[in-house]
Chains A and B, each alone.
Chain A
Amino acid sequence: MATATVKGSFLAAARQFTENLYHCSRCNYCVEASWEEKGLRHVCPTLVNHSPALSYSGKGYLATARALADGEELSAATVADRVFACTTCGNCEEACPIGLRPAQLAKAMRADLVDHGLAPDRVLEIASNIASTGNPDGLPGAERYAWASGLQTDSGSGPEFLYLPGCAACYGKPAEARATVALLTAAGVRVAMLAADRDRCCGAPLFETGQLAAGRRQGIELLEAIRDSGLSAVLTSGAECLESLRHHYSQHLQADEAVAAMHPLELLADRISTHRLKLVARKDSPPPAAVAMLDSCHLSKKGHGGLAETGYPRLARTILAALGCRVVPDESAARFALCCGAAGGMSQIHPDSARRMALGKLESLRELGAGAIVSASPLCASHLERSRDGGTTPVYGLCEFIMAHFEARG
């Protein structure tokens, strides 16, 4: 059977980046760069943990797309192999001194591959899992809200917010979902949740893997469920879900479909700073003196629907500092932090490489000498926890950490 090839006509979604292809200055910042004062040390997690070939880097995506645009014919399988090995973390875009968008280009090329029926099977499995179970890993849909069993939410005066925990919290970090509801309730925030059979994947893994039509379907279903709830303000723990709600839905559905969504830590930071939520260290489970922050790429790097502009790395550290914890590294490290490999479809498409990324991240965080690793992203926290190699440093979701070591007094 002849090997399938692609050429310039294959590029459709990627065409929006044509100028990028001809402006790359070949500085190599998206491949390997260090600048101590800026917290930049290594750039591309895929090059470090998956393959050292430049074709797997931001520079590689630019070169591949340019070769196609210039009329070259390339093996479809090799193009797909490269662009579906990107974590889409966006560190290459942070490092690019002239603002090129290689990670966005990779996502657009993914969409073009999907449209031409050239996506690898593992990518398609993500969509089929979501279609059949409502989550990207194909875990039983009926267990989605198992963590909420017996949970009381205060809706005496009617709920203010709809809480969508996200697939990663429901299945990978249920303690974070539970702790989030408990903390919000203690802070006087009235939350409601969807019926378990109406909550489902928001489509983030589909948007990230270029399966836009499937992502749109998920979005439409979830938006309908949100509308039916009667609530227009949404809180979600999932950093990727937040990008869907705030950005993907307006980009890929109708323009007016963006949802007023927040991450719970925005509310918690406010309630703590205004003393509406008082937290006292537990004597039976005192917090460690130092906490290592695992910053989610979605919440700290550009290229994720503008979420980074909210300043989540600062908010998370503000909360922990208010509780008396020393947080390492400081928030300036978030911008160039190397991805843990949780998102972008990496853990489904290349699980071994995703695990290596997590182990590398664990090692770098452990080197900071903290007593716990904390993340505001349940996806990152659960990925690190799953990938642990027997190390003793516990990995928490942010709310999980607070509830484990502090007592809430309203």
Chain B
Amino acid sequence: MEKRSLANELAGTSAVVLEDQIDLLNYRRDASVCAAGDPAAVVLVSSADEIVRVVKAAREADQPIYLRGAGSTYAGGANPTRGGVVIDVSPMNRIVEIDRGRGLVVVEPGVTYGELLAVLGRDGLTVGIVPLTGASGTIGGAIASHGLGTGSPKYQSTGDEVAGLEVILPDGELLRTGSAALAGAGFFHRYAIGPDLTGLFLGANGTLGVITKLALWVHPLPPHQETLTLGFSDYAAGARFTARAQLHEMFRNVWYGAGYEDKAVAARVSTARPDLDGNSMPGFCLGLDLRGDPREVAADRLRLIDQASRFAGGEFAPFDEIFFSKLRRDFSFWYGYAGYFSRSMCALLMTSMPTETSPRFFALVDRMRALHSDFVWAGGTVLCRRGVHGAVIMFYDEQHQWPAAQAAASAACAELLAIGCVPYKVGKMWAPLMDRFGTYYQALRTLKRSFDPKSLFCPDNLAL
């Protein structure tokens, strides 16, 4: 893009335009294994108006636009693979309104979950879903790329907690979704008027518009937290227990749940507790983070242990003491994963599946381990209200293995589809496989052509 056109469009605003090579280095990629891009410029924006101006300049110059918050996601959505301009929304970090009457908070996309939780916490409130990278992760980034984490067993997906959006469309028009479509009405009901347009932008990785405001439901901050780890003989027993507990709403006070491989359990427990018999380790552990009224939590705890016993499972305290309870109180929770992050990079393939599929998912992780032994593989599940997310984690040495790691991760994506795991975070990681989704993908392409005929918004994401 002509330097002058961006500068002219943004004259008199507080936007910061970065074009020095050194300033662009951090905008080439996100945390994924995906290929990096090479942007021509970065604009740090502070308002929706500034975004409209950048969009106008980009449209006139036929240059693509990519969007970025913290750049901490694992699917390549922020990577500017076709160059162009990166819009960094992190300076749009105002908490616009906490509306207690309507039970929601309106934020700009650059607000981090850490900041929002701090502010809401003072009022005894919280939001439903907080990604594992929440201290630094932006709300806009999480919503645009299908975040998950704390709150998923109770509220399912980040998208389910969105009451409405304000979005700048590729033609520069401002769209407000749900009840806010009526001028002056504001956000209070997502499913208003007609079809749910909010959903078009959730997990869309910026391909259909730039989110400039988000309304999220708020909830009372639970007064009490404790953890419980259940152990089962194998994945199948764990899956049967989980499905039953989900159906009967036994996870009503569970804010986070994670399923751990036998290898992960054995490695951690046997290192810390060599006195324990290695043969008595569970084949699968489900760590649960319970929050709520202390009496309700205590009752749920007993009920869950009792229910687990019907599937030949039970409480497995050593793993909870050694690992799970500590991690649930640590703000660097995710990055503490077995210490691997300090030695290597991580490719993360995030999927969704019905609970019954999880044994096959763990078997696939074992298969990947055997097929691609140059990398360290791990698998884990994150509990949802219904179904689970499955995370295939592959650690690699980026200095020497990056292209090989990309190939191995792509192979794993194809294998995951074959066993019925569907991608949750698509970005560019799963883009080559989008044609596997048939008419869904065709409909998405039709929408893209209608919204963004020049394909300027985040091209390559979701293969759009």
**Interface positions of A (Cβ within 8 A of B):** 21-23, 25-29, 31-38, 40-41, 52-55, 57, 59-60, 63-64, 66-67, 72, 74-75, 78-79, 82, 97-100
Given known contacts A52-B16, A64-B25, A74-B22, A28 and B114 CB-to-CB distance under 8 angstroms: no
Known: A28-B133, A55-B20. 19 other contacts (CB 8 A): A26-B30, A26-B71, A26-B72, A28-B71, A31-B70, A34-B114, A34-B135, A35-B114, A40-B331, A52-B16, A60-B22, A60-B26, A64-B22, A67-B22, A72-B21, A74-B21, A75-B20, A78-B20, A97-B332
Q: How would you classify the secondary structure of chain B's contact residues: helix, strand, loop or mixed?
A: mixed
Q: Contact at A31–B23, with CB atoms within 8 Å?
A: no
With both chains docked as a complex, state the minimum distance between the C-beta of B67 and any C-beta of chain A, in angstroms. Answer: 15
Docked Cα-Cα span, A25 to B430, in Å, equals: 20
Report which of A22, A27, A31 forms a contact with B31, defined as CB distance below 8 A: A27
Given known contacts A28-B71, A53-B16, A36 and B25 CB-to-CB distance under 8 angstroms: no
Report which of B25, B331, B343 forms a contact with A35, defined as CB distance below 8 A: B331
Q: Contact at A40–B137, with CB atoms within 8 Å?
A: no
Which A-B residue pairs are the 4 nearest by beta carbons?
A97-B332, A34-B114, A97-B335, A28-B70
Q: Contact at A54–B26, with CB atoms within 8 Å?
A: yes
Q: Contact at B21–A75, with CB atoms within 8 Å?
A: yes
Docked Cα-Cα span, A118 to B351, in Å, equals: 49
Report which of B29, B331, B342, B346 forms a contact with A99, defined as CB distance below 8 A: B342
Report which of B30, B114, B334, B336 forms a contact with A33, defined as CB distance below 8 A: B114
Q: Contact at B341–A25, with CB atoms within 8 Å?
A: yes
| B121 within 8 A of partner (CB) | yes
Which chain B residues lie closer than 8 Å to A66 at the CB level? 25
Report which of B18, B70, B342 forms a contact with A23, defined as CB distance below 8 A: B342
Report which of B90, B121, B398 forms a contact with A36, defined as CB distance below 8 A: B121
Counting chain A CB atoms within 10 Å of each CB, which of B20, B25, B114, B137 scores highest? B25
**Could you show 5 A-B contacts with beta carbons less than 8 Å apart?**
A23-B344, A28-B137, A32-B136, A41-B118, A53-B44
Question: How many B residues, CB 8 Å from partner?
Answer: 42
| B112 within 8 A of partner (CB) | yes
Within 8 A of A (CB), among B10-64: 16, 18, 20-23, 25-27, 29-31, 44
| B356 within 8 A of partner (CB) | no
Given known contacts A25-B346, A97-B336, A99-B342, A82 and B70 CB-to-CB distance under 8 angstroms: no
**Interface positions of B (Cβ within 8 A of A):** 16, 18, 20-23, 25-27, 29-31, 44, 70-72, 90-91, 112, 114-115, 117-118, 121, 133, 135-137, 331-332, 334-336, 341-346, 397-399
Which chain B residues lie closer than 8 Å to A78 at the CB level? 20-22
Which chain B residues lie closer than 8 Å to A82 at the CB level? 22
Q: Closest chain B residue to A24 by CB distance?
A: B345
Docked Cα-Cα span, A79 to B20, in Å, equals: 11
Which chain B residues lie closer than 8 Å to A38 at the CB level? 331
Q: Contact at B335–A98, with CB atoms within 8 Å?
A: yes
Docked Cα-Cα span, A41 to B44, in Å, equals: 21
Q: Contact at A34–B72, with CB atoms within 8 Å?
A: no
Q: Contact at B397–A29, with CB atoms within 8 Å?
A: no
Counting chain A CB atoms within 10 Å of each CB, which of B135, B342, B345 scores highest? B135
Docked Cα-Cα span, A97 to B137, in Å, equals: 14
Docked Cα-Cα span, A380 to B117, in Å, equals: 31
Which chain B residues lie closer than 8 Å to A28 at the CB level? 70-72, 133, 136-137
Q: Contact at A59–B341, with CB atoms within 8 Å?
A: no
Docked Cα-Cα span, A159 to B67, in Å, equals: 65
Q: Contact at A40–B135, with CB atoms within 8 Å?
A: yes
Which chain B residues lie closer than 8 Å to A40 at the CB level? 114, 135, 331
Q: Closest chain B residue to A82 by CB distance?
A: B22
Q: Contact at B118–A34, with CB atoms within 8 Å?
A: yes
Q: Closest chain A residue to B339 by CB distance?
A: A98
With both chains docked as a complex, state the minimum distance between the C-beta of B227 and any C-beta of chain A, in angstroms. Answer: 16
Q: Contact at B22–A31, with CB atoms within 8 Å?
A: no
Report which of A37, A67, A74 forms a contact with B331, defined as CB distance below 8 A: A37
Q: Contact at B343–A23, with CB atoms within 8 Å?
A: yes
Q: Contact at B31–A63, with CB atoms within 8 Å?
A: no
Docked Cα-Cα span, A14 to B112, in Å, equals: 32
Which chain B residues lie closer than 8 Å to A22 at the CB level? 345, 397-399
Given known contacts A55-B26, A63-B25, A34 and B115 CB-to-CB distance under 8 angstroms: yes
With both chains docked as a complex, state the minimum distance between the C-beta of B292 and any C-beta of chain A, in angstroms. Answer: 18
Docked Cα-Cα span, A23 to B346, in Å, equals: 9
Which chain B residues lie closer than 8 Å to A79 at the CB level? 22
Given known contacts A23-B341, A25-B31, A97-B335, A35 and B135 CB-to-CB distance under 8 angstroms: yes
Q: Contact at B22–A36, with CB atoms within 8 Å?
A: no
With both chains docked as a complex, state the minimum distance between the C-beta of B133 and any C-beta of chain A, in angstroms. Answer: 6
Docked Cα-Cα span, A26 to B133, in Å, equals: 10
Q: Contact at B22–A75, with CB atoms within 8 Å?
A: yes
Q: Closest chain A residue to B346 by CB distance?
A: A25
With both chains docked as a complex, state the minimum distance between the C-beta of B121 and any C-beta of chain A, in angstroms. Answer: 6
Docked Cα-Cα span, A35 to B23, in Å, equals: 27
Q: Contact at B136–A27, with CB atoms within 8 Å?
A: yes
With both chains docked as a complex, state the minimum distance between the C-beta of A206 and any C-beta of chain B, in angstroms. Answer: 25
Q: Contact at A52–B91, with CB atoms within 8 Å?
A: yes
Docked Cα-Cα span, A36 to B112, in Å, equals: 12
Given known contacts A26-B72, A97-B336, A33 and B136 CB-to-CB distance under 8 angstroms: yes
Q: Contact at A55–B133, with CB atoms within 8 Å?
A: no
Docked Cα-Cα span, A23 to B399, in Å, equals: 9
Q: Closest chain A residue to B121 by CB distance?
A: A36
Which chain B residues lie closer than 8 Å to A74 at the CB level? 21-22
Q: Contact at B22–A34, with CB atoms within 8 Å?
A: no
Which chain B residues lie closer than 8 Å to A72 at the CB level? 21
Counting chain B CB atoms within 10 Å of each CB, which of A33, A41, A98, A99 scores highest? A33
Docked Cα-Cα span, A362 to B99, in Å, equals: 32
Which chain B residues lie closer than 8 Å to A100 at the CB level? 342
Docked Cα-Cα span, A320 to B23, in Å, equals: 45
Q: Closest chain B residue to A27 by CB distance?
A: B72
Q: Contact at B23–A55, with CB atoms within 8 Å?
A: yes
Q: Contact at B112–A32, with CB atoms within 8 Å?
A: yes
Given known contacts A22-B397, A25-B341, A33 and B21 CB-to-CB distance under 8 angstroms: no
Which chain A residues lie closer than 8 Å to B345 at the CB level? 22-23, 25
Q: Contact at B112–A55, with CB atoms within 8 Å?
A: no
Q: Contact at B335–A27, with CB atoms within 8 Å?
A: yes
Which chain A residues lie closer than 8 Å to B136 at the CB level? 27-29, 31-33
Q: Closest chain B residue to A69 by CB distance?
A: B399
Which chain B residues lie closer than 8 Å to A52 at the CB level? 16, 44, 91
Docked Cα-Cα span, A147 to B9, in Å, equals: 57
With both chains docked as a complex, state the minimum distance between the C-beta of B427 and any C-beta of chain A, in angstroms. Answer: 14
Q: Closest chain A residue to B113 by CB distance?
A: A34
Q: Contact at B335–A25, with CB atoms within 8 Å?
A: yes
Which chain B residues lie closer than 8 Å to A32 at the CB level? 70, 90, 112, 136
Q: Contact at B25–A53, with CB atoms within 8 Å?
A: no
Which chain A residues lie closer than 8 Å to B341 at the CB level? 23, 25, 97-98
Q: Closest chain B residue to A54 by CB distance?
A: B26
With both chains docked as a complex, state the minimum distance between the C-beta of B305 and any C-beta of chain A, in angstroms. Answer: 28
Which chain A residues lie closer than 8 Å to B344 at the CB level? 23
Q: Contact at B91–A55, with CB atoms within 8 Å?
A: no
Q: Closest chain A residue to B332 by CB distance?
A: A97
Docked Cα-Cα span, A366 to B397, in Å, equals: 47
Which chain A residues lie closer than 8 Å to B91 at the CB level? 52
With both chains docked as a complex, state the minimum distance between the C-beta of B42 and any C-beta of chain A, in angstroms. Answer: 8
Docked Cα-Cα span, A74 to B20, in Å, equals: 10
Docked Cα-Cα span, A197 to B372, in Å, equals: 68
Q: Closest chain A residue to B341 by CB distance?
A: A98
Which chain A residues lie closer than 8 Å to B115 at the CB level? 34, 41
With both chains docked as a complex, state the minimum distance between the C-beta of B299 and any C-beta of chain A, in angstroms. Answer: 27
Q: Closest chain A residue to B110 by CB distance?
A: A32
Docked Cα-Cα span, A54 to B20, in Å, equals: 12
Counting chain B CB atoms within 10 Å of each CB, which of A31, A53, A60, A72 scores highest? A53
With both chains docked as a complex, state the minimum distance between the C-beta of B204 and any C-beta of chain A, in angstroms. Answer: 22
